[in-house]
Amino acid sequence: MDSLVDFGALGAEAVTVSADRRSVSIRLPSPTLSEPRLDMDRSYVVARQRGALNRLGGLFGGQGNDQELYQLAVDKMRDAAAADGQVLELARTNTAAMLRGFLGALGFTQVDVTFADDPK
């Protein structure tokens, strides 16, 4: 599961450059979680416990569909990432580091990065 910071909606008010062009402040939207994705070529059910009725259905050609299990896995990944918070914190840390490196290479000596949900 990934997290992301959407730069697409940034307006001119999100970036403030000092008069001497040595410092810059950037206000970004809060990181969000992307949709979980399962690699269907590498995902499989490790063990399956089947009751008597399932086995009887198997005699008549009924094969279980794992789609519900995959959806349950996606839901659990989403819930765990949201509850943990580390994925979103990593997005903050990595985004701020990337911007400091990029803007530092452009000559800015002071780069302040804040996010919309940061405490004021």
List, for residues 13-33, the tens digit of each pLDDT value: 999 999 999 999 999 999 999
Give the start-to-end residue ranges of the domains of the chain.
1-35+66-120
Q: How far apart are CA 42 and CA 2, in angstroms?
A: 18
Q: What pLDDT, in 10s, does the model give residues 49-79?
A: 665 555 545 555 555 567 777 778 888 888 8
Question: Which string of DSSP letters, residue by residue, matches 37-63?
Answer: ---TTT---S-----HHHHHHHHTT--
pTM flag (> 0.85): no
Rg for the chain, CA atoms, rounded = 23
